[in-house]
Amino acid sequence: MTLLQTTLLMLAASCTLLLVGFSARESRWGPALMMLGIVGTLMIVAYAIYENSRMG
């Protein structure tokens, strides 16, 4: 799997978490899902930086 495919898969997962969390923001677990989505998005940036620095 290429870096682009991996990044898009992780982005889709974190956007799904953000969407579900925002839809359920009135419940107790909604904000937690949004936080996981935000952390997932930040991890995408960290993963891309790591892979690009490893490739040279």
pLDDT on residue 1: 80
- CA distances (Å), origin 27, targets 8, 16, 21, 33, 48: 29, 17, 9, 11, 33
Q: 30-55 and 3-23 are packed helices; what angle lies between their axes, rounded to 10 degrees? A: 170
pLDDT score for 3: 76
| Entry pTM | 0.80
**pLDDT tens sequence for the chain (56 residues):** 887 898 899 899 999 999 999 999 999 999 999 999 999 999 888 888 888 898 87
